[in-house]
Structure 1
Amino acid sequence: KLSGEFNALRARQHLEQITSVGPRPVGSEENEVLTVGYLLEQIESIRATIAEGPHQLTVDVQRPTGTFSIDFLGGFTSFYDHVTNVAVRLEPKGGAEHLMLANCHFDTVANSPGASDDAVSCAVMLEVLHSLASQSTPLRHGVIFLFNGAEENVLQASHGFITQHPWAEQVRAFINLEAAGVGGKEVVFQTGPENPWLVQAYVHAAKHPFASVVGQEVFQSGVIPSDTDFRIYRDFGNIPGIDLAFIENGFIYHTKYDTANRILTDSIQRAGDNILAVLKHLLMS
């Protein structure tokens, strides 16, 4: 692949490395030490290769503590203590006033290696970061790649980022990469609030666009007992966004069978092509 294009084979290697440690529940060594270490190593190697180019890359490991109320599953108050975020800021040298946010999570439920939920998204984001950072034309705006380490215990790390991180106030829109199944096409299943320009950008720029209005209706009706970081950025950050998820083979989701070998390289390529193209479109406009 030419530099600047999305390399699914390299993303697949990230997927296999991240899932090789097994389940990554919040607070475990696998989540807080091994996976964080791997992400930082990969980010550092990207930073080293782009030193001469037009971009600068800043990494911040945030460990926020906080509390919030959420009306999910009947409603409760969530308290979190030193959860982990690995935030990577890519921008033209000299800085950027406006930032996009791309979000994934690397933690898992206790019984699953979480290949689709959500290691594949982290793998795609690492490779999209590599592609954008390597391009010779400088971006007009900046982007934060947030690898968050506490989503499964109900959306805590994203709350810590959007309410406490100093970069958060510059974020104008976000893309969230999630899973409610394993593989297939990634579907835009939530967008908004309002801000049709974001959906128009997706439709215009994505190489293989695929969206479902029914998905949004069903998901926001509360019929499905699940939620994503989309909700946190929308409700606590008041930021418009796009929620993308793999939804095929939902019966494997959150089980020990959510393994890397079930995710086709073609699915990774498709998701990567889409996310790279949409981010590039938004960051150059």
Structure 2
Amino acid sequence: MKPTTAVITLLLLLGLGYWSFEGSMPSAPPDADIAETAFSTDRAMKHVTEISKAPHAVGFPAHSTVRTYIMKSLKNLGLRPELQSAYISGDKGTVTRATNILARIPGTGSGKALLLLTHYDSQPHSSHGASDAGSGVATILEGLRAYKASGKQPLNDIIVLFTDAEELGLNGAELFVNRHAWANEVGLALNFEARGSGGPSYMLIETNRGNQKMIEGFKKAHPEYPVANSLAYSIYKMLPNDTDLTVFREDGDIEGFNFAFIDDHFDYHTAMDIQPRLDRETLAHQGSYLMP
């Protein structure tokens, strides 16, 4: 009986592990016809398709094409996007001309603003940037569309920032935090990133102080599929690269949440970072963080 018991126990443990993993992410059935006020993975994926048609690193022909597409998408939402452009030296000592895309939704109150953040340039050479960070651009664009469709007006201003030259050294983030007046008005940043093309999105906090109030605020928002643990941030700090949010914390003392997925990491910064490789469930998971 002992071998049988061992096998049954092993199967139960495997089943529980699989269930806990699957339960950490939303399902993503076709939802093109979902209510206009809801986040649609299908509609978000259309943005990913457009953004990732070709590699679009700084200086590539498709770079300006992607920027034009994002500007047009923001205008279609009734926003008035603007550009911030200048030569800037990033954290890797690179000097390049970065062109950020910004927009703003005014709130009814006078408190600090909420910043929605990701970058729109792809990694130089061959990456199409579908996940890194076309998925972030798509999440924000679709989230804003659903929010605007609801007719709601926020209490705090919402600032939208698509940074440029993140892949060259976080240059666009440096440009905004150190040279744009809006940076002084930001109270919290939500950054959407990727280091792969699938799997659950992990919540990571960037703060110069204790994180108790941030955790309480995160819980109060009631995200339906929260995935976070203290070990993930410890590993993140040991990695040789940062995100735009690091600049906000170090240069602007601005706290924020990173939402990033890391499965299928072999697609990261390669020619395999294309739209068909991006998991629908992963994109839906990003939306499930943003909307609440």
What is the DSSP-based 3-state SS (H/G/I as helix, E as strand, rest coil) of the residue aligned with 2:80? Answer: strand
Aligned to 1:215: 232
State whether residues 93 and 169 of structure 2, in contact with CA within 8 Å, keep that contact through their aligned partners in structure 1: no
| Cα deviation digits, residues 169-210 of structure 1 (max 9, x gap) | 110110111111111111113432334322322233212111
CA-CA distance at 1:271 after TM superposition: 1.2
CA-CA distance at 1:159 after TM superposition: 0.7
Aligned to 1:251: 266
Distance, in Å, in 2 between the alignment partners of 1:112 and 1:77 is 22
Q: What pairs with 1:66-145 in structure 2 (closer than 5 Å)?
A: 66-67=88-89, 70=91, 77-80=93-96, 82-92=97-107, 96-109=110-123, 110-145=125-160
**Letter matched to residue 27 of structure 1:** G
State whether residues 89 and 142 of structure 1, in contact with CA within 8 Å, keep that contact through their aligned partners in structure 2: yes
Tell me the TM-score normalised to structure 1 length. Answer: 0.84
Distance, in Å, in 2 between the alignment partners of 1:67 and 1:112 is 23
Distance, in Å, in 1 between the alignment partners of 2:120 and 2:259 is 16
State whether residues 121 and 167 of structure 2, in contact with CA within 8 Å, keep that contact through their aligned partners in structure 1: yes
State whether residues 64 and 161 of structure 1, in contact with CA within 8 Å, keep that contact through their aligned partners in structure 2: no
Unaligned segments of structure 2, at least 5 residues:
1-33
State whether residues 116 and 246 of structure 1, in contact with CA within 8 Å, keep that contact through their aligned partners in structure 2: no
**Letter matched to residue 213 of structure 2:** W
State whether residues 206 and 249 of structure 2, in contact with CA within 8 Å, keep that contact through their aligned partners in structure 1: no
Aligned to 1:202: 218
Distance, in Å, in 1 between the alignment partners of 2:263 and 2:122 is 18
Aligned to 2:72: 41
Q: What pairs with 1:133-172 in structure 2 (closer than 5 Å)?
A: 133-172=148-187
**Letter matched to residue 118 of structure 1:** A
**Letter matched to residue 118 of structure 2:** C
**Cα RMSD (Å):** 1.7
Aligned pair partner of 2:83 in 46, 51, 61: 61
Aligned to 1:5: 38
Unaligned segments of structure 1, at least 5 residues:
48-56, 71-75, 278-285
CA-CA distance at 1:38 after TM superposition: 0.4
| Cα deviation digits, residues 76-116 of structure 1 (max 9, x gap) | 53433x31111111123x78542111111111112111111
What is the DSSP-based 3-state SS (H/G/I as helix, E as strand, rest coil) of the residue aligned with 1:167? Answer: helix
State whether residues 196 and 268 of structure 2, in contact with CA within 8 Å, keep that contact through their aligned partners in structure 1: yes
Aligned to 2:288: 273
Distance, in Å, in 2 between the alignment partners of 1:137 and 1:42 is 19
CA-CA distance at 1:269 after TM superposition: 1.7
Provide the aligned length of Structure 1 versus Structure 2. 256
